[in-house]
Amino acid sequence: MGDRMTKRLTRAVLTGAMIATAIGGIAVPAFAQRDPAYAAARAAGQVGEKMDGYLGIVGAETPDLRRIVNDINIKRRAVYSERAKATNATLEEYALTAGCQAILATVPGEKYQAPDGTWATRGAGAPMRDSRCP
Protein backbone atom coordinates (compact mmCIF):
# COMPACT_ATOMS: atom_id res chain seq x y z
CA MET A 1 0.00 0.00 0.00
CA GLY A 2 2.69 2.47 1.09
CA ASP A 3 4.80 1.71 -1.95
CA ARG A 4 1.89 2.30 -4.31
CA MET A 5 1.15 5.65 -2.64
CA THR A 6 4.76 6.78 -3.08
CA LYS A 7 4.64 5.87 -6.80
CA ARG A 8 1.42 7.82 -7.23
CA LEU A 9 2.90 10.83 -5.46
CA THR A 10 6.06 10.76 -7.53
CA ARG A 11 3.99 10.61 -10.72
CA ALA A 12 1.87 13.58 -9.59
CA VAL A 13 4.95 15.66 -8.80
CA LEU A 14 6.54 14.82 -12.16
CA THR A 15 3.35 15.69 -14.04
CA GLY A 16 3.14 18.98 -12.16
CA ALA A 17 6.73 19.84 -13.06
CA MET A 18 6.07 19.04 -16.73
CA ILE A 19 2.98 21.26 -16.80
CA ALA A 20 4.90 24.11 -15.14
CA THR A 21 7.69 23.82 -17.72
CA ALA A 22 5.17 23.87 -20.57
CA ILE A 23 3.40 26.97 -19.23
CA GLY A 24 6.72 28.68 -18.63
CA GLY A 25 7.73 28.00 -22.21
CA ILE A 26 4.52 29.56 -23.51
CA ALA A 27 4.63 32.56 -21.17
CA VAL A 28 8.11 33.72 -22.20
CA PRO A 29 8.14 33.97 -26.00
CA ALA A 30 10.79 35.71 -28.08
CA PHE A 31 10.17 39.44 -28.75
CA ALA A 32 6.68 39.86 -30.15
CA GLN A 33 6.36 40.82 -33.81
CA ARG A 34 4.25 43.54 -35.41
CA ASP A 35 0.68 42.79 -36.37
CA PRO A 36 0.66 41.92 -40.13
CA ALA A 37 -1.80 44.72 -40.94
CA TYR A 38 0.36 47.26 -39.11
CA ALA A 39 3.55 45.96 -40.74
CA ALA A 40 1.91 46.22 -44.18
CA ALA A 41 0.64 49.79 -43.57
CA ARG A 42 4.09 50.79 -42.34
CA ALA A 43 5.87 49.30 -45.32
CA ALA A 44 3.40 50.93 -47.72
CA GLY A 45 4.03 54.36 -46.15
CA GLN A 46 0.40 54.71 -45.05
CA VAL A 47 1.47 55.26 -41.45
CA GLY A 48 4.53 57.02 -40.12
CA GLU A 49 6.42 57.86 -36.96
CA LYS A 50 5.57 61.27 -35.51
CA MET A 51 7.95 63.47 -33.52
CA ASP A 52 5.81 63.18 -30.39
CA GLY A 53 6.38 59.42 -30.11
CA TYR A 54 3.11 58.28 -31.63
CA LEU A 55 2.05 56.82 -34.95
CA GLY A 56 0.31 58.99 -37.53
CA ILE A 57 -1.65 58.43 -40.72
CA VAL A 58 0.11 59.64 -43.86
CA GLY A 59 -2.25 60.76 -46.62
CA ALA A 60 -5.89 59.69 -46.83
CA GLU A 61 -7.44 58.31 -43.66
CA THR A 62 -9.44 55.09 -43.78
CA PRO A 63 -11.33 53.40 -40.92
CA ASP A 64 -8.90 50.49 -41.04
CA LEU A 65 -5.85 52.74 -40.76
CA ARG A 66 -7.45 54.73 -37.95
CA ARG A 67 -8.15 51.51 -36.05
CA ILE A 68 -4.56 50.29 -36.45
CA VAL A 69 -3.05 53.65 -35.47
CA ASN A 70 -5.34 54.15 -32.46
CA ASP A 71 -4.67 50.64 -31.23
CA ILE A 72 -0.90 51.10 -31.43
CA ASN A 73 -0.98 54.57 -29.90
CA ILE A 74 -3.09 53.50 -26.93
CA LYS A 75 -0.63 50.70 -26.22
CA ARG A 76 2.34 53.05 -26.67
CA ARG A 77 0.84 55.58 -24.32
CA ALA A 78 0.43 52.93 -21.63
CA VAL A 79 4.08 51.91 -22.00
CA TYR A 80 5.29 55.53 -22.02
CA SER A 81 3.22 56.28 -18.94
CA GLU A 82 4.69 53.37 -17.02
CA ARG A 83 8.29 54.13 -18.03
CA ALA A 84 7.87 57.88 -17.44
CA LYS A 85 6.84 57.11 -13.88
CA ALA A 86 9.79 54.76 -13.42
CA THR A 87 12.28 57.32 -14.77
CA ASN A 88 10.73 60.28 -12.95
CA ALA A 89 9.88 62.06 -16.20
CA THR A 90 6.64 63.41 -17.63
CA LEU A 91 4.61 61.45 -20.17
CA GLU A 92 5.39 64.07 -22.86
CA GLU A 93 9.11 64.03 -22.13
CA TYR A 94 9.29 60.27 -22.35
CA ALA A 95 7.10 60.12 -25.46
CA LEU A 96 9.20 62.75 -27.26
CA THR A 97 12.38 60.85 -26.42
CA ALA A 98 10.84 57.62 -27.69
CA GLY A 99 9.83 59.54 -30.84
CA CYS A 100 13.48 60.47 -31.42
CA GLN A 101 14.45 56.81 -31.13
CA ALA A 102 11.53 55.49 -33.16
CA ILE A 103 12.32 57.87 -36.04
CA LEU A 104 15.96 56.80 -35.88
CA ALA A 105 14.82 53.16 -36.04
CA THR A 106 12.81 53.59 -39.26
CA VAL A 107 14.13 51.72 -42.28
CA PRO A 108 14.50 53.18 -45.80
CA GLY A 109 11.10 53.65 -47.43
CA GLU A 110 9.19 54.19 -44.18
CA LYS A 111 7.58 57.53 -43.34
CA TYR A 112 8.50 59.82 -40.45
CA GLN A 113 7.68 63.36 -39.40
CA ALA A 114 10.43 65.88 -40.08
CA PRO A 115 11.09 68.78 -37.64
CA ASP A 116 9.04 71.11 -39.87
CA GLY A 117 5.99 68.86 -39.38
CA THR A 118 5.86 67.41 -42.88
CA TRP A 119 6.03 63.71 -43.70
CA ALA A 120 9.39 62.56 -45.01
CA THR A 121 10.49 59.22 -46.44
CA ARG A 122 13.44 57.62 -44.73
CA GLY A 123 16.38 57.39 -47.09
CA ALA A 124 19.69 55.60 -46.77
CA GLY A 125 21.14 58.35 -44.54
CA ALA A 126 20.18 59.59 -41.09
CA PRO A 127 16.64 60.96 -40.71
CA MET A 128 15.94 64.66 -40.12
CA ARG A 129 15.20 64.93 -36.41
CA ASP A 130 14.51 67.52 -33.73
CA SER A 131 17.68 69.35 -32.70
CA ARG A 132 17.21 68.09 -29.13
CA CYS A 133 17.31 64.42 -30.16
CA PRO A 134 20.41 62.54 -28.97
- C-beta contacts of 43-46 below 8 A and 24+ residues apart: 43/109, 43/110, 45/109, 45/110, 45/111, 45/121
With binding defined as CB under 8 A, does residue 97 bind another protein? yes
Given 18, 40, 44, 79, the residue binding another protein (CB under 8 A): 79
Q: Are 34 and 75 in contact (CB under 8 A)?
A: no
Given 45, 76, 114, 121, the residue binding another protein (CB under 8 A): 76
Nearer to another protein, 1 or 32 (CB): 32
CA distances from 57 to 12, 71, 74 (A): 55, 13, 15
Given 96, 111, 112, 120, the residue binding another protein (CB under 8 A): 96
- Which DSSP string do the residues of 44-62 spell out, in sequence order? TTSEEE-TTSSEEE-SS--
Given 41, 65, 72, 120, the residue binding another protein (CB under 8 A): 72
With binding defined as CB under 8 A, does residue 120 bind another protein? no
Q: Which residues bind another protein (CB under 8 A)?
A: 31-35, 51-52, 72, 75-76, 79-80, 83, 86-87, 89, 92-94, 96-98, 100-102, 105, 131-134
